[in-house]
Amino acid sequence: MRLKQLIKLGKGLYHYILIAIVLLIFSRITYSMIPLFTQYVLKRLLEQPGIGTTLDVYNQVNLPAFFIRLFESAPSFLDEIIYVAGVLISLQIIRFLFRFIELSIRGFVRHSMGQNLRLNMYEHIQKLSYKFHNNTDSGDLIQRSTSDIETSVNFLSRTLMDIIFLASTLVFGAYQLYFLNPLLTVILLSIIPFVGVASIIYFRKNDKMYHDVEEAESKMMTVIQENLSSARIVRAFGNEAYEIEKLRIKNDHHRHMRLRTGKIVSKFWGTMDFMGISQYVLVIVLGIYFMNQNQMDAAQIAAALGLVGMLIWPIRGLGHILNDYAKALAASKRIYDILNLETEYEKNGTLTPEIKGHIVFENVTFKFDDTENKLFKNLSFEILPGETVAFIGRTGSGKSTLMNMLMRMYEYHDGHIYVDGVELRDIEKNYLRAHLGVVLQEPFLFSKTVYDNIAIANRKADRSKILMAAQAASLEKDIKTFHQGYDTVVGEKGTTLSGGQKQRVAIARSLITEPKVLLADEPTGALDSNTSKEVMRLIQEINNKGKTILVVTHETDIANMCKR
Protein backbone atom coordinates (compact mmCIF):
# COMPACT_ATOMS: atom_id res chain seq x y z
CA MET A 1 0.00 0.00 0.00
CA ARG A 2 2.79 2.40 0.90
CA LEU A 3 4.59 1.57 -2.36
CA LYS A 4 1.36 2.34 -4.26
CA GLN A 5 1.21 5.70 -2.52
CA LEU A 6 4.77 6.41 -3.60
CA ILE A 7 4.08 5.50 -7.23
CA LYS A 8 0.86 7.54 -7.14
CA LEU A 9 3.00 10.66 -6.71
CA GLY A 10 4.06 10.31 -10.36
CA LYS A 11 0.50 10.58 -11.67
CA GLY A 12 0.34 12.40 -15.02
CA LEU A 13 3.97 11.60 -15.90
CA TYR A 14 3.75 7.84 -16.40
CA HIS A 15 4.13 8.03 -20.21
CA TYR A 16 7.45 9.88 -19.81
CA ILE A 17 8.60 7.27 -17.30
CA LEU A 18 7.62 4.47 -19.73
CA ILE A 19 9.70 6.02 -22.55
CA ALA A 20 12.67 6.32 -20.19
CA ILE A 21 12.26 2.64 -19.20
CA VAL A 22 12.29 1.50 -22.85
CA LEU A 23 15.45 3.52 -23.55
CA LEU A 24 17.08 2.19 -20.39
CA ILE A 25 16.37 -1.44 -21.31
CA PHE A 26 17.83 -0.91 -24.79
CA SER A 27 21.03 0.51 -23.28
CA ARG A 28 21.31 -2.56 -21.02
CA ILE A 29 20.91 -4.93 -23.99
CA THR A 30 23.74 -3.23 -25.90
CA TYR A 31 25.88 -3.09 -22.75
CA SER A 32 25.52 -6.86 -22.26
CA MET A 33 27.02 -7.40 -25.74
CA ILE A 34 30.35 -5.68 -24.99
CA PRO A 35 32.08 -8.75 -23.42
CA LEU A 36 30.87 -10.83 -26.41
CA PHE A 37 32.87 -8.67 -28.81
CA THR A 38 35.94 -9.41 -26.65
CA GLN A 39 35.09 -13.11 -26.78
CA TYR A 40 34.71 -12.99 -30.57
CA VAL A 41 38.08 -11.29 -31.13
CA LEU A 42 39.88 -13.71 -28.78
CA LYS A 43 38.36 -16.72 -30.52
CA ARG A 44 39.41 -15.38 -33.92
CA LEU A 45 42.92 -14.86 -32.57
CA LEU A 46 42.98 -18.41 -31.23
CA GLU A 47 42.11 -19.84 -34.64
CA GLN A 48 44.86 -17.90 -36.48
CA PRO A 49 47.71 -20.10 -37.75
CA GLY A 50 50.43 -20.62 -35.18
CA ILE A 51 48.35 -19.30 -32.31
CA GLY A 52 46.00 -22.10 -31.32
CA THR A 53 43.38 -24.60 -32.42
CA THR A 54 40.54 -23.71 -34.72
CA LEU A 55 37.19 -23.32 -32.93
CA ASP A 56 33.60 -22.89 -34.11
CA VAL A 57 33.53 -19.12 -33.59
CA TYR A 58 30.11 -18.43 -35.00
CA ASN A 59 28.17 -20.96 -32.92
CA GLN A 60 29.85 -20.12 -29.60
CA VAL A 61 29.51 -16.31 -29.59
CA ASN A 62 26.00 -15.08 -28.77
CA LEU A 63 26.09 -11.99 -30.98
CA PRO A 64 23.22 -11.22 -33.41
CA ALA A 65 23.53 -13.23 -36.65
CA PHE A 66 23.73 -10.15 -38.89
CA PHE A 67 26.81 -8.96 -36.93
CA ILE A 68 28.46 -12.35 -37.44
CA ARG A 69 27.67 -12.29 -41.17
CA LEU A 70 29.09 -8.76 -41.43
CA PHE A 71 32.34 -9.78 -39.71
CA GLU A 72 32.57 -12.93 -41.84
CA SER A 73 32.33 -10.87 -45.04
CA ALA A 74 35.56 -8.99 -44.23
CA PRO A 75 38.29 -9.60 -46.87
CA SER A 76 41.04 -10.02 -44.24
CA PHE A 77 41.51 -10.61 -40.52
CA LEU A 78 42.61 -6.97 -40.03
CA ASP A 79 39.47 -5.75 -41.81
CA GLU A 80 37.42 -8.08 -39.64
CA ILE A 81 38.87 -6.51 -36.48
CA ILE A 82 38.12 -3.04 -37.90
CA TYR A 83 34.51 -4.13 -38.58
CA VAL A 84 34.21 -5.39 -35.00
CA ALA A 85 35.60 -2.12 -33.62
CA GLY A 86 33.31 -0.06 -35.88
CA VAL A 87 30.17 -1.95 -34.84
CA LEU A 88 31.15 -1.78 -31.17
CA ILE A 89 31.79 1.99 -31.33
CA SER A 90 28.54 2.57 -33.27
CA LEU A 91 26.55 0.60 -30.69
CA GLN A 92 28.09 2.59 -27.86
CA ILE A 93 27.33 5.91 -29.59
CA ILE A 94 23.70 4.84 -30.00
CA ARG A 95 23.68 3.65 -26.38
CA PHE A 96 25.09 7.02 -25.29
CA LEU A 97 22.39 8.92 -27.22
CA PHE A 98 19.62 6.76 -25.78
CA ARG A 99 21.10 7.12 -22.31
CA PHE A 100 21.32 10.89 -22.75
CA ILE A 101 17.65 11.08 -23.78
CA GLU A 102 16.65 8.77 -20.93
CA LEU A 103 18.48 10.85 -18.31
CA SER A 104 17.00 14.05 -19.76
CA ILE A 105 13.50 12.59 -19.45
CA ARG A 106 14.26 11.47 -15.89
CA GLY A 107 15.40 15.00 -15.04
CA PHE A 108 12.23 16.45 -16.55
CA VAL A 109 10.08 13.96 -14.62
CA ARG A 110 11.93 14.70 -11.38
CA HIS A 111 11.55 18.47 -11.58
CA SER A 112 7.95 18.32 -12.85
CA MET A 113 6.97 15.88 -10.15
CA GLY A 114 8.66 17.97 -7.47
CA GLN A 115 6.98 21.13 -8.71
CA ASN A 116 3.52 19.52 -8.88
CA LEU A 117 3.84 17.83 -5.50
CA ARG A 118 5.06 20.98 -3.76
CA LEU A 119 2.17 22.98 -5.22
CA ASN A 120 -0.37 20.29 -4.29
CA MET A 121 1.07 20.04 -0.79
CA TYR A 122 1.06 23.80 -0.30
CA GLU A 123 -2.46 24.12 -1.71
CA HIS A 124 -3.70 21.37 0.61
CA ILE A 125 -2.03 22.96 3.65
CA GLN A 126 -3.78 26.24 2.79
CA LYS A 127 -7.13 24.44 2.98
CA LEU A 128 -6.52 22.73 6.32
CA SER A 129 -8.40 23.88 9.37
CA TYR A 130 -7.48 26.70 11.71
CA LYS A 131 -7.25 24.10 14.48
CA PHE A 132 -4.64 22.14 12.50
CA HIS A 133 -2.43 25.20 12.01
CA ASN A 134 -2.75 26.09 15.69
CA ASN A 135 -1.52 22.63 16.74
CA THR A 136 1.19 22.03 14.11
CA ASP A 137 4.75 23.36 14.10
CA SER A 138 5.52 25.40 11.01
CA GLY A 139 9.05 23.94 10.95
CA ASP A 140 7.54 20.46 10.60
CA LEU A 141 5.38 21.60 7.66
CA ILE A 142 8.42 23.19 5.99
CA GLN A 143 10.30 19.89 6.39
CA ARG A 144 7.43 17.91 4.84
CA SER A 145 7.06 20.41 1.97
CA THR A 146 10.77 20.47 1.08
CA SER A 147 13.12 17.62 2.01
CA ASP A 148 10.38 14.97 2.37
CA ILE A 149 9.07 15.81 -1.09
CA GLU A 150 12.62 15.82 -2.48
CA THR A 151 13.28 12.35 -1.02
CA SER A 152 10.03 10.94 -2.43
CA VAL A 153 10.57 12.48 -5.86
CA ASN A 154 14.13 11.14 -5.97
CA PHE A 155 12.80 7.64 -5.42
CA LEU A 156 10.39 7.83 -8.34
CA SER A 157 12.69 9.61 -10.77
CA ARG A 158 15.97 7.94 -9.81
CA THR A 159 15.64 4.93 -7.50
CA LEU A 160 12.64 3.37 -9.25
CA MET A 161 14.53 3.66 -12.54
CA ASP A 162 17.61 2.22 -10.84
CA ILE A 163 15.54 -0.82 -9.86
CA ILE A 164 14.66 -1.39 -13.51
CA PHE A 165 18.26 -0.63 -14.49
CA LEU A 166 19.66 -3.22 -12.10
CA ALA A 167 16.94 -5.79 -12.86
CA SER A 168 17.51 -5.53 -16.62
CA THR A 169 21.28 -5.63 -16.07
CA LEU A 170 20.89 -8.83 -14.03
CA VAL A 171 18.54 -10.47 -16.56
CA PHE A 172 20.61 -9.70 -19.67
CA GLY A 173 23.89 -10.47 -17.91
CA ALA A 174 22.55 -13.80 -16.65
CA TYR A 175 21.22 -14.64 -20.13
CA GLN A 176 24.61 -14.08 -21.78
CA LEU A 177 26.38 -16.02 -19.01
CA TYR A 178 23.94 -18.90 -19.39
CA PHE A 179 24.87 -19.12 -23.08
CA LEU A 180 28.55 -19.37 -22.08
CA ASN A 181 28.09 -21.97 -19.32
CA PRO A 182 24.71 -22.81 -17.68
CA LEU A 183 26.24 -24.40 -14.56
CA LEU A 184 28.49 -21.39 -13.92
CA THR A 185 25.47 -19.10 -14.21
CA VAL A 186 23.41 -21.13 -11.72
CA ILE A 187 26.28 -21.13 -9.19
CA LEU A 188 26.76 -17.36 -9.51
CA LEU A 189 23.02 -16.67 -9.19
CA SER A 190 22.78 -18.87 -6.08
CA ILE A 191 24.18 -15.92 -4.11
CA ILE A 192 21.03 -13.88 -4.86
CA PRO A 193 18.75 -15.60 -2.24
CA PHE A 194 21.28 -14.82 0.50
CA VAL A 195 21.30 -11.21 -0.68
CA GLY A 196 17.48 -11.21 -0.52
CA VAL A 197 17.42 -12.48 3.08
CA ALA A 198 20.06 -9.95 4.16
CA SER A 199 18.10 -7.19 2.40
CA ILE A 200 14.84 -8.07 4.17
CA ILE A 201 16.57 -8.03 7.57
CA TYR A 202 18.22 -4.71 6.73
CA PHE A 203 15.01 -3.13 5.46
CA ARG A 204 12.99 -4.14 8.54
CA LYS A 205 15.60 -2.56 10.79
CA ASN A 206 15.98 0.63 8.81
CA ASP A 207 12.34 1.33 7.90
CA LYS A 208 11.39 2.72 11.31
CA MET A 209 14.83 4.22 11.85
CA TYR A 210 14.51 6.44 8.77
CA HIS A 211 11.11 7.59 10.00
CA ASP A 212 12.74 8.51 13.34
CA VAL A 213 15.49 10.39 11.46
CA GLU A 214 12.88 12.42 9.55
CA GLU A 215 11.05 13.26 12.79
CA ALA A 216 14.31 14.30 14.47
CA GLU A 217 15.17 16.56 11.52
CA SER A 218 11.66 18.02 11.62
CA LYS A 219 12.01 18.95 15.30
CA MET A 220 15.40 20.52 14.63
CA MET A 221 13.89 22.57 11.77
CA THR A 222 11.12 23.76 14.09
CA VAL A 223 13.64 25.09 16.62
CA ILE A 224 15.56 26.94 13.87
CA GLN A 225 12.37 28.39 12.36
CA GLU A 226 11.02 29.56 15.74
CA ASN A 227 14.33 31.17 16.64
CA LEU A 228 14.63 33.05 13.35
CA SER A 229 11.02 34.26 13.45
CA SER A 230 11.37 35.53 17.03
CA ALA A 231 14.88 36.99 16.75
CA ARG A 232 13.94 40.30 18.41
CA ILE A 233 12.39 38.60 21.45
CA VAL A 234 15.37 36.25 21.86
CA ARG A 235 17.78 39.18 21.85
CA ALA A 236 15.56 41.39 24.01
CA PHE A 237 15.64 38.84 26.83
CA GLY A 238 19.25 37.76 26.24
CA ASN A 239 18.19 34.19 25.47
CA GLU A 240 20.77 33.52 22.75
CA ALA A 241 22.68 30.97 24.86
CA TYR A 242 19.46 29.16 25.81
CA GLU A 243 18.32 28.96 22.17
CA ILE A 244 21.74 27.70 21.05
CA GLU A 245 21.64 25.01 23.74
CA LYS A 246 18.10 24.04 22.71
CA LEU A 247 19.25 23.61 19.11
CA ARG A 248 22.37 21.71 20.24
CA ILE A 249 20.18 19.14 22.03
CA LYS A 250 17.98 18.63 18.96
CA ASN A 251 21.04 18.61 16.71
CA ASP A 252 22.78 15.99 18.87
CA HIS A 253 19.67 13.81 18.79
CA HIS A 254 19.49 14.15 15.00
CA ARG A 255 23.20 13.29 14.72
CA HIS A 256 22.74 10.25 16.98
CA MET A 257 19.86 9.00 14.82
CA ARG A 258 21.92 9.50 11.65
CA LEU A 259 24.94 7.67 13.11
CA ARG A 260 22.79 4.77 14.32
CA THR A 261 21.29 4.39 10.86
CA GLY A 262 24.71 4.82 9.23
CA LYS A 263 26.19 1.89 11.18
CA ILE A 264 23.56 -0.49 9.87
CA VAL A 265 23.89 0.91 6.35
CA SER A 266 27.69 0.51 6.32
CA LYS A 267 27.46 -3.10 7.55
CA PHE A 268 24.92 -3.95 4.89
CA TRP A 269 26.86 -2.29 2.06
CA GLY A 270 30.05 -4.02 3.21
CA THR A 271 28.26 -7.37 3.06
CA MET A 272 26.89 -6.60 -0.42
CA ASP A 273 30.37 -5.64 -1.66
CA PHE A 274 31.84 -8.86 -0.26
CA MET A 275 29.18 -10.97 -2.00
CA GLY A 276 29.72 -9.05 -5.24
CA ILE A 277 33.50 -9.37 -5.31
CA SER A 278 33.25 -13.06 -4.38
CA GLN A 279 31.62 -13.62 -7.77
CA TYR A 280 34.84 -12.61 -9.56
CA VAL A 281 36.73 -15.17 -7.49
CA LEU A 282 34.13 -17.82 -8.33
CA VAL A 283 34.41 -17.10 -12.08
CA ILE A 284 38.21 -17.45 -12.02
CA VAL A 285 38.21 -20.64 -9.90
CA LEU A 286 35.31 -22.30 -11.74
CA GLY A 287 36.59 -21.05 -15.11
CA ILE A 288 39.92 -22.80 -14.59
CA TYR A 289 38.08 -25.95 -13.50
CA PHE A 290 35.75 -25.92 -16.54
CA MET A 291 38.73 -25.19 -18.82
CA ASN A 292 40.49 -28.32 -17.52
CA GLN A 293 37.26 -30.23 -18.22
CA ASN A 294 37.20 -28.79 -21.79
CA GLN A 295 33.87 -27.12 -21.03
CA MET A 296 35.19 -23.56 -21.44
CA ASP A 297 38.07 -21.82 -23.22
CA ALA A 298 40.08 -18.67 -22.49
CA ALA A 299 37.77 -16.49 -24.62
CA GLN A 300 34.70 -17.67 -22.73
CA ILE A 301 36.38 -17.05 -19.37
CA ALA A 302 37.33 -13.53 -20.49
CA ALA A 303 33.71 -12.90 -21.55
CA ALA A 304 32.45 -14.35 -18.26
CA LEU A 305 34.71 -12.00 -16.27
CA GLY A 306 33.25 -9.09 -18.24
CA LEU A 307 29.67 -10.27 -17.74
CA VAL A 308 29.99 -11.03 -14.04
CA GLY A 309 30.14 -7.30 -13.44
CA MET A 310 26.53 -7.21 -14.65
CA LEU A 311 25.66 -9.47 -11.71
CA ILE A 312 27.79 -7.55 -9.21
CA TRP A 313 26.16 -4.19 -9.96
CA PRO A 314 22.66 -5.38 -8.97
CA ILE A 315 24.01 -6.90 -5.75
CA ARG A 316 25.95 -3.78 -4.80
CA GLY A 317 23.16 -1.49 -5.97
CA LEU A 318 20.54 -3.32 -3.94
CA GLY A 319 21.87 -1.75 -0.75
CA HIS A 320 21.54 1.75 -2.18
CA ILE A 321 18.06 1.00 -3.50
CA LEU A 322 16.77 -0.35 -0.19
CA ASN A 323 18.40 2.56 1.60
CA ASP A 324 16.62 5.06 -0.67
CA TYR A 325 13.40 3.03 -0.54
CA ALA A 326 13.34 3.12 3.26
CA LYS A 327 13.94 6.88 3.19
CA ALA A 328 11.23 7.39 0.56
CA LEU A 329 8.67 5.32 2.48
CA ALA A 330 9.29 7.36 5.63
CA ALA A 331 9.11 10.63 3.68
CA SER A 332 6.00 9.67 1.69
CA LYS A 333 4.21 8.63 4.88
CA ARG A 334 4.82 12.09 6.32
CA ILE A 335 3.56 13.65 3.07
CA TYR A 336 0.39 11.55 2.99
CA ASP A 337 -0.20 12.17 6.69
CA ILE A 338 -0.89 15.75 5.56
CA LEU A 339 -2.51 15.09 2.16
CA ASN A 340 -4.98 12.62 3.71
CA LEU A 341 -6.21 15.16 6.26
CA GLU A 342 -9.71 16.46 5.70
CA THR A 343 -9.74 20.08 4.54
CA GLU A 344 -12.04 22.60 6.13
CA TYR A 345 -13.85 22.98 2.79
CA GLU A 346 -15.18 19.41 2.94
CA LYS A 347 -17.72 20.80 5.40
CA ASN A 348 -18.58 23.89 3.44
CA GLY A 349 -21.80 25.74 2.79
CA THR A 350 -23.20 26.59 -0.61
CA LEU A 351 -25.23 29.76 -0.02
CA THR A 352 -24.02 33.28 -0.91
CA PRO A 353 -26.62 35.60 0.64
CA GLU A 354 -26.41 39.38 0.75
CA ILE A 355 -24.69 40.26 4.02
CA LYS A 356 -25.97 43.38 5.78
CA GLY A 357 -24.62 42.77 9.30
CA HIS A 358 -27.51 41.27 11.27
CA ILE A 359 -26.00 38.61 13.57
CA VAL A 360 -27.91 36.28 15.90
CA PHE A 361 -26.51 33.66 18.30
CA GLU A 362 -29.23 31.25 19.45
CA ASN A 363 -28.42 28.73 22.23
CA VAL A 364 -24.89 28.21 20.86
CA THR A 365 -22.71 25.57 22.56
CA PHE A 366 -19.00 25.18 21.85
CA LYS A 367 -16.04 23.28 23.28
CA PHE A 368 -12.54 22.53 22.05
CA ASP A 369 -11.90 18.93 20.96
CA ASP A 370 -9.14 18.36 23.52
CA THR A 371 -11.34 19.18 26.54
CA GLU A 372 -14.72 18.18 27.94
CA ASN A 373 -15.37 21.63 29.41
CA LYS A 374 -17.79 23.70 27.36
CA LEU A 375 -16.55 27.21 26.60
CA PHE A 376 -20.09 28.35 25.72
CA LYS A 377 -23.37 26.75 26.68
CA ASN A 378 -26.67 28.03 25.29
CA LEU A 379 -25.14 31.41 24.41
CA SER A 380 -27.66 33.80 22.85
CA PHE A 381 -27.46 37.44 21.72
CA GLU A 382 -28.40 39.63 18.77
CA ILE A 383 -26.47 42.38 16.98
CA LEU A 384 -28.38 44.67 14.66
CA PRO A 385 -26.98 46.04 11.39
CA GLY A 386 -24.83 49.13 11.93
CA GLU A 387 -24.19 48.51 15.65
CA THR A 388 -20.78 48.70 17.32
CA VAL A 389 -20.67 46.10 20.09
CA ALA A 390 -17.85 45.46 22.56
CA PHE A 391 -17.07 42.03 24.03
CA ILE A 392 -15.37 42.23 27.43
CA GLY A 393 -14.23 39.35 29.61
CA ARG A 394 -11.36 37.73 31.40
CA THR A 395 -8.53 36.08 29.47
CA GLY A 396 -9.64 32.72 28.11
CA SER A 397 -13.35 33.49 28.37
CA GLY A 398 -13.83 32.95 24.63
CA LYS A 399 -13.97 36.47 23.18
CA SER A 400 -11.60 35.71 20.30
CA THR A 401 -13.25 32.33 19.81
CA LEU A 402 -16.51 34.16 19.06
CA MET A 403 -14.74 36.06 16.27
CA ASN A 404 -13.28 32.83 14.91
CA MET A 405 -16.69 31.15 14.99
CA LEU A 406 -18.16 33.99 12.93
CA MET A 407 -15.38 33.49 10.36
CA ARG A 408 -16.03 29.71 10.51
CA MET A 409 -12.51 29.05 11.72
CA TYR A 410 -14.20 27.01 14.48
CA GLU A 411 -17.49 25.16 14.05
CA TYR A 412 -20.09 25.32 16.83
CA HIS A 413 -21.55 22.06 18.15
CA ASP A 414 -25.15 22.92 19.07
CA GLY A 415 -27.50 25.83 18.56
CA HIS A 416 -27.65 28.26 15.66
CA ILE A 417 -25.77 31.28 14.38
CA TYR A 418 -27.62 33.36 11.82
CA VAL A 419 -26.16 36.03 9.56
CA ASP A 420 -28.99 38.04 8.03
CA GLY A 421 -31.37 35.15 8.66
CA VAL A 422 -29.16 32.48 7.07
CA GLU A 423 -27.60 29.64 9.11
CA LEU A 424 -23.85 30.32 9.30
CA ARG A 425 -23.00 26.68 8.41
CA ASP A 426 -24.89 27.04 5.13
CA ILE A 427 -22.85 30.04 3.92
CA GLU A 428 -19.89 29.30 1.66
CA LYS A 429 -16.71 29.94 3.67
CA ASN A 430 -14.71 31.97 1.15
CA TYR A 431 -17.76 34.11 0.36
CA LEU A 432 -18.38 34.73 4.06
CA ARG A 433 -14.77 35.67 4.81
CA ALA A 434 -14.62 37.96 1.79
CA HIS A 435 -17.48 39.97 3.34
CA LEU A 436 -15.93 40.18 6.82
CA GLY A 437 -13.20 42.70 7.63
CA VAL A 438 -10.70 41.56 10.28
CA VAL A 439 -8.34 43.63 12.44
CA LEU A 440 -6.16 41.67 14.88
CA GLN A 441 -4.20 42.71 17.96
CA GLU A 442 -0.92 41.89 16.22
CA PRO A 443 -1.49 42.39 12.50
CA PHE A 444 0.78 40.26 10.34
CA LEU A 445 2.50 42.21 7.60
CA PHE A 446 4.44 40.52 4.81
CA SER A 447 7.93 41.57 3.74
CA LYS A 448 6.46 43.53 0.84
CA THR A 449 5.53 47.12 0.08
CA VAL A 450 2.86 49.04 1.98
CA TYR A 451 0.75 48.94 -1.18
CA ASP A 452 1.03 45.14 -1.48
CA ASN A 453 0.17 44.63 2.19
CA ILE A 454 -3.04 46.64 1.80
CA ALA A 455 -3.95 44.91 -1.47
CA ILE A 456 -3.65 41.40 0.02
CA ALA A 457 -7.36 41.39 0.91
CA ASN A 458 -8.34 42.08 -2.71
CA ARG A 459 -5.58 41.66 -5.29
CA LYS A 460 -7.91 42.77 -8.08
CA ALA A 461 -8.55 46.17 -6.51
CA ASP A 462 -7.33 49.10 -8.60
CA ARG A 463 -4.90 51.68 -7.24
CA SER A 464 -7.61 54.27 -6.54
CA LYS A 465 -9.38 51.80 -4.25
CA ILE A 466 -6.14 51.11 -2.37
CA LEU A 467 -5.54 54.84 -1.89
CA MET A 468 -9.12 55.38 -0.66
CA ALA A 469 -8.73 52.58 1.90
CA ALA A 470 -5.43 54.05 3.12
CA GLN A 471 -7.04 57.48 3.40
CA ALA A 472 -10.00 56.07 5.34
CA ALA A 473 -7.53 54.41 7.74
CA SER A 474 -5.65 57.74 8.26
CA LEU A 475 -2.53 56.14 6.81
CA GLU A 476 -1.88 58.71 4.12
CA LYS A 477 0.03 61.19 6.31
CA ASP A 478 2.39 58.40 7.46
CA ILE A 479 2.98 57.25 3.90
CA LYS A 480 4.04 60.77 2.91
CA THR A 481 6.92 60.49 5.39
CA PHE A 482 8.23 57.29 3.75
CA HIS A 483 10.97 57.78 1.15
CA GLN A 484 9.25 55.53 -1.39
CA GLY A 485 5.67 56.18 -0.31
CA TYR A 486 3.37 53.24 -0.99
CA ASP A 487 6.30 51.34 -2.54
CA THR A 488 8.22 51.28 0.76
CA VAL A 489 9.10 47.71 1.81
CA VAL A 490 8.00 47.25 5.43
CA GLY A 491 10.34 44.37 6.31
CA GLU A 492 9.44 40.97 7.73
CA LYS A 493 6.33 41.24 9.94
CA GLY A 494 6.36 45.01 9.39
CA THR A 495 9.40 45.63 11.60
CA THR A 496 10.07 49.05 10.04
CA LEU A 497 6.64 50.39 11.06
CA SER A 498 5.40 51.54 14.46
CA GLY A 499 2.56 49.70 16.22
CA GLY A 500 0.03 52.35 15.22
CA GLN A 501 1.18 52.35 11.60
CA LYS A 502 0.91 48.56 11.39
CA GLN A 503 -2.59 48.70 12.83
CA ARG A 504 -3.67 51.36 10.35
CA VAL A 505 -2.31 49.23 7.48
CA ALA A 506 -4.40 46.35 8.87
CA ILE A 507 -7.50 48.56 9.02
CA ALA A 508 -6.92 49.76 5.45
CA ARG A 509 -6.54 46.13 4.38
CA SER A 510 -9.84 45.21 6.01
CA LEU A 511 -11.64 48.06 4.22
CA ILE A 512 -10.50 47.06 0.72
CA THR A 513 -13.30 44.49 0.40
CA GLU A 514 -15.88 47.04 1.63
CA PRO A 515 -17.18 44.63 4.28
CA LYS A 516 -20.55 45.06 5.98
CA VAL A 517 -19.13 43.49 9.15
CA LEU A 518 -15.81 44.38 10.82
CA LEU A 519 -14.28 42.10 13.47
CA ALA A 520 -11.72 43.90 15.62
CA ASP A 521 -9.94 41.50 17.99
CA GLU A 522 -8.03 43.55 20.59
CA PRO A 523 -7.12 46.14 17.94
CA THR A 524 -5.57 48.45 20.56
CA GLY A 525 -4.08 45.86 22.92
CA ALA A 526 -0.46 46.54 21.93
CA LEU A 527 -0.78 50.32 21.50
CA ASP A 528 -0.33 53.31 23.78
CA SER A 529 -3.41 55.25 24.95
CA ASN A 530 -3.17 58.03 22.35
CA THR A 531 -2.72 55.61 19.45
CA SER A 532 -5.51 53.43 20.87
CA LYS A 533 -7.93 56.35 20.80
CA GLU A 534 -6.86 57.17 17.24
CA VAL A 535 -7.56 53.59 16.14
CA MET A 536 -10.96 53.60 17.88
CA ARG A 537 -11.79 56.93 16.24
CA LEU A 538 -11.15 55.28 12.90
CA ILE A 539 -13.39 52.37 13.87
CA GLN A 540 -16.15 54.79 14.87
CA GLU A 541 -15.85 56.55 11.52
CA ILE A 542 -16.22 53.19 9.82
CA ASN A 543 -19.30 52.52 11.94
CA ASN A 544 -20.82 55.83 10.86
CA LYS A 545 -20.85 54.41 7.32
CA GLY A 546 -23.39 51.79 8.43
CA LYS A 547 -21.08 48.85 9.10
CA THR A 548 -21.62 46.36 11.92
CA ILE A 549 -18.55 46.26 14.16
CA LEU A 550 -17.65 43.70 16.82
CA VAL A 551 -14.79 44.78 19.11
CA VAL A 552 -12.99 42.42 21.49
CA THR A 553 -11.25 44.40 24.23
CA HIS A 554 -10.22 44.34 27.86
CA GLU A 555 -10.10 48.15 28.13
CA THR A 556 -13.20 49.82 29.60
CA ASP A 557 -12.34 53.13 27.87
CA ILE A 558 -12.47 51.40 24.51
CA ALA A 559 -15.67 49.55 25.44
CA ASN A 560 -17.34 52.82 26.46
CA MET A 561 -16.74 54.16 22.96
CA CYS A 562 -18.98 51.38 21.58
CA LYS A 563 -22.79 51.57 21.49
CA ARG A 564 -23.13 48.60 23.82
296 occurs within a structural domain: yes
173 with 259, same domain? yes
352 lies in some domain? no
Are 338 and 311 part of one and the same domain?
Answer: yes
414 and 532 fall within a common domain: yes
78 in a domain, yes or no?
A: yes
Burial class (CB in 10 A: 0-12, 13-18, 19+), 459: exposed
Does residue 508 lie within any of the structural domains? yes
CATH code assigned at 405: 3.40.50.300
Q: Are residues 428 and 328 in the same domain?
A: no
Q: Are residues 364 and 313 in the same domain?
A: no
In a domain, 353, yes or no: no
* Cα–Cα distance for residue pair 286/283, rounded to 1 Å: 5
Note down the domain range covering 320: 2-344
Claim to verify: residue 98 and residue 21 sit in the same structural domain: yes
Answer yes or no: do 408 and 329 share one domain: no
Domain match, 366 and 340 both: no
Structural contact between residues 152 and 6, judged by C-beta atoms closer than 8 angstroms: yes
Closest CA to 84 of 42, 114, 49, 41: 41
In a domain, 431, yes or no: yes
Backbone φ and ψ for 351, nearest 5 degrees, come out as -85, 150
> 132 and 43 in one domain?
yes
| Domain tally, the chain | 2
Which contiguous run of DSSP H or E holds residue 351? none
Do 403 and 339 lie in one domain? The reply is no
Burial readout 523-536 (b: 16 or more C-beta within 10 A, e: otherwise):
bbbebeeebbebbb
- Local confidence pLDDT in tens for the 564 residues of the chain: 456 666 676 677 788 888 888 888 888 888 888 888 888 888 777 765 443 333 455 556 777 878 878 887 888 888 888 888 898 899 889 888 988 998 898 888 888 888 888 888 888 888 888 888 878 877 788 888 888 888 888 887 787 788 888 888 888 888 888 888 888 888 888 877 777 677 767 666 666 777 777 778 878 877 777 777 666 666 666 777 878 888 888 888 888 888 888 787 777 777 777 777 777 888 888 888 888 888 888 888 888 888 887 777 676 677 677 777 777 888 888 888 888 888 888 778 888 888 888 999 999 888 887 777 888 888 898 989 888 888 887 877 888 888 888 888 888 888 899 999 899 989 898 888 888 888 777 777 787 888 888 888 777 778 888 888 787 777 777 888 888 888 888 876 667 787 778 877 887 887 787 788 888 887 766 566 666 666 677 767 666 677 888 888 877 777 777 777
> Do 183 and 70 fall into the same domain?
yes
Are residues 229 and 116 part of one domain?
yes
Read off the pTM.
0.68
* 351 found inside a domain: no
